[in-house]
Amino acid sequence: MWRWPSTHAQFTIDTGVQIYFCDPRSPWQRGSNENTNGLLRQYFPRRVANLNDYSQADLDIVAAHLNGRPRKTLGYMTPSQKFNEAVALTH
């Protein structure tokens, strides 16, 4: 189990994946994160939602919806398709 950010350097060595930490209070550095938060707010409104009120099955359904939604930034592929493509390239 990785303990972020203290082991980020070892993670990069082990996986070859570069880690980037955004500056505090700089949402423009977190475009994908901010976009995903907006998509999640469609399912879990900010002032209404308490994730403890949802089952794992509920959360899995939302994840499946979001991962099955085509994205312009992915060439209109879904996140699941893009992930599978990336994994296939590693074999």
Quote the pTM value: 0.60
CB distance 67 to 60 below 8 Å = no
Q: Is 72 within a domain? A: yes
pLDDT tens for the 91 residues of the chain, in order = 445 556 778 878 888 877 778 888 887 778 877 888 888 999 988 887 788 888 999 999 999 999 999 988 889 999 889 988 888 877 6
Supply the range of the domain harboring residue 72.
42-89
Q: Is 59 within a domain? A: yes
Q: Is 71 within a domain? A: yes
Q: Is 6 within a domain? A: no
Measured distance CA(30)–CA(53) in Å, rounded: 27
Measured distance CA(25)–CA(23) in Å, rounded: 6
Question: Quick one: tokens of 22?
Answer: 């955004």
Measured distance CA(70)–CA(79) in Å, rounded: 7
Measured distance CA(8)–CA(90) in Å, rounded: 21
Q: Is 1 within a domain? A: no
Q: What total of structural domains would you count in the chain? A: 1
Q: Is 8 within a domain? A: no
pLDDT number for residue 4? 54
